[in-house]
Amino acid sequence: MSTSDPHCLFCKIIEGKIPSDKVYEDEEVLVFKDIHPWAPVHFLMVPKQHMASMAQVGPEHAALLGKMLLLAPRLAREQGCNPYPEGGFRILINTGAEGGQEVQHLHIHVMGGPRPWLRG
Ligand code: AMP
Ligand code: ZN
């Protein structure tokens, strides 16, 4: 169904070639725990279709990105983030080298849980 890049780490996770600690999956989206968490809760949301970053998105991706953003609060609560406003969570999308992006497959970081955090 979707495009995949054979050299991409997250495409390999999506295809099950590299294991991940899965949080959620549907036909379009995979969510798994970050291997080096910054916070008590830290997971990554990725589109199953390979796209390098937010620099490549267009109007055709609006529904997918909207769906992922709407999913984030629900999964944050399910994964242990405390309720707003005392709790909450952080949503982060690093984009490009100067944006701090290390893996070139678009991913949404969701972080939360009691402070202090390792980073951020
Ligand atoms: P970024 O710097 O925004 O590109 O974030 C990449 C994230 O992917 C980092 O937070 C890494 O800890 C995480 N990461 C790298 N390899 C894996 C992996 N095999 N499973 C889960 N998370 C990973
Ligand atoms: Zn990919």
In the chain, how many domains are there? 1
Asked if residue 88 belongs to a domain, the reply is no
> Domain range spanning residue 44?
1-83
Ligand nearest to the CA of 107: 1
Q: What is the pLDDT of residues 7-39, one digit of tens each?
A: 999 999 999 999 999 999 999 999 999 999 999
Return d(Cα 15, Cα 36) in angstroms, integer.
Answer: 21
Asked if residue 112 belongs to a domain, the reply is no
Asked if residue 14 belongs to a domain, the reply is yes
pTM (two decimals): 0.97
Asked if residue 109 belongs to a domain, the reply is no
For the CA of 36, the closest atom of ligand 1 is 12
The CB density around residue 30, as the number of other CB atoms within 10 Å, is 21
Asked if residue 92 belongs to a domain, the reply is no
Asked if residue 68 belongs to a domain, the reply is yes
Q: What is the pLDDT of residues 79-110, one digit of tens each?
A: 999 999 999 999 999 999 999 999 999 999 99
Do the beta carbons of residue 105 and residue 50 sit within 8 Å?
yes
Asked if residue 98 belongs to a domain, the reply is no
Do the beta carbons of residue 90 and residue 109 sit within 8 Å?
yes
Cβ–ligand 1 distance for 35 under 6 Å, the answer: yes
Domain at 32, CATH number: 3.30.428.10
Catalytic site residue from 42, 50, 105, 107? 107
Cβ–ligand 1 distance for 118 under 6 Å, the answer: no
Asked if residue 7 belongs to a domain, the reply is yes
CA of 60 to the centre of ligand 1 (A): 26
Omega before residue 19 within 30° of 0, cis: no
Return d(Cα 75, Cα 25) in angstroms, integer.
Answer: 11
